[in-house]
Amino acid sequence: MDNKPDLDKLMYLLGQENAVEELKNTMEPHEFSQKYKNQKVNIIENQDFIQSDNNTDSIQSINKKGKKIMKKKIIVLIAAITATLAISATAYGAVKHYLVTTSKNEETGTLTCDIQTESAPTKVPAMKVVPGYIPEGYIETANALGKYHPNGDHSVGGITICPPVYTTHFEEIYVSDVEETTLGGIKAQILTREGLEYNHIINMFYEKGGYVVTIYGADNTSLEELKKVAENIKCEEIPGEFIVVPAFSDELKDVVDNDKEEIEYVEPGISTDHVFNIDEEISDEGFPDENPTFTVNNIEVLDKLPELDKNKFSDYNEYLTFINEDGTLKDYERVNEEKWENNKMNTITETVGMKYVYVTLTMKNPFDKELKDINIYPRIGFMKKASNGNLQFLSDYWGNGNNLQMDNAPIYFDKSDYEGKSFFFSDFAPNETKETHLVYAVDEDKIDNAYIRFEQSGTTSFVGNYIKVTK
């Protein structure tokens, strides 16, 4: 699996004139059967020339010795090298112009694919995937083309079909097993990843076009269905669009390999001037002239919520699945650690309870102008105080593991002026003040390290301003 042949060197060593002859006469024990060798020779000797863009069959190349050889001869050599040396690699299209070698790090589960071709294109037509089959009930996501979920439910896994990619090197992580096959007439790899939600990957190698299409399937989609999707996809050119393909040189590959080295990253601490108290006005750090100010009036940690308007929950039906009959939050299995070991992902879970965090908040437009479409998105995260007095992000800063509170945003907001995907947006008249209530569902063992972060865009571009949930 670890062999990575240099075709130029191998062709030079074997010699361009006697590749087939050597293959015919090889009698070494414990290699291929004579029947297999005869079939291989027959295939090689009967190959057609690869034609160039101008439809001629007189394409020539220069070997190491400077001698002109036909492309057909190169094809013969690739096939002969693969057969006579018994290369420990996956060889796709060995009698064409496309050679894929794969190797796997058994300790980390990382599968590496290197693709060698006779000529590397520098400009290629842009391609798109047209699926001919999608399982019944799977709906494509409107703003994420190529992603399909059962009944359009993004909270569960589904199928992702990636656009065609021209590449000479790529990796897949956490691979348990590799099956080499053909799907819809295209050479393919089926990767199994035990212990992961997206537990199957199919790589489709389009030899003629020189590109790869990757399809991901979650554990709620059977492998047979995923294979059927792969067998029925078509790749079509996008008229008038082209892609410039950078050369993947050894120098560039060294840069990529160096980037893989693990570097310990230490988050900068949050100084005390970014931490606010109850009844202190908080301005938006990133765009203070474009957003309202916030004042937290009260924070309560509760077992049960007061009576609230069900229409003000971001997803009331989802909320109902997380509560007991008495209105308390259910315990759930939280993932504390995922570790790749024994060729699979091992998940360590723990049963934990949750509490409500009920926040009363005053929002004020301090300007004599109207504010429209303001994103009210204070998320909750987890920090602890460091020895220097600053707050330090915990390794699981966004680590609330339940599916109720997606992205650590509030599950309840009673001043939304919009519906659907714009639920967290609100409008303000000039100098208008609004009182709103926010609700979070927080793991009870993380309450003491919980902080609410105020930064309307919801990004991490700025440090942000914070308030601690408990005193």
Same domain, 216 and 365: no
Same domain, 333 and 359: yes
User: Mean per-residue pLDDT for 146-156?
Assistant: 91
Same domain, 19 and 74: yes
Same domain, 127 and 208: yes
- The domain boundary, picked from 216, 241, 263, lies at 263
pLDDT at 287: 82
- The domain boundary, picked from 35, 61, 88, lies at 88
Is residue 449 over pLDDT 70? yes
Report if residue 121 sits inside a domain. Answer: yes
Contact present, 230 and 250 (Cβ < 8 Å): no
pLDDT greater at residue 37 or residue 195:
195
Q: Which percentage of the chain shows pLDDT scores above 70?
A: 72
Backbone angles phi, psi at 19, to 5 degrees: -60, -50
Same domain, 5 and 133: no
Give the mean pLDDT of the chain: 79
pLDDT digits (tens, 9 = 90+) for 113-130: 998 877 666 788 899 999
Report if residue 93 sits inside a domain. Answer: no
Same domain, 357 and 303: yes
Is residue 36 over pLDDT 80? no
- The domain boundary, picked from 40, 68, 88, lies at 88
Same domain, 126 and 79: no
Q: Tell me the two tokens of residue 239.
A: 């008229």
Is residue 95 over pLDDT 50? no
Same domain, 326 and 462: yes
Domain residue limits at 388: 272-468
Cβ neighbourhood burial of 4 (10 Å; 0-12, 13-18, 19+): middle
Same domain, 215 and 351: no
CA distance 189 to 122: 26
Same domain, 75 and 102: no
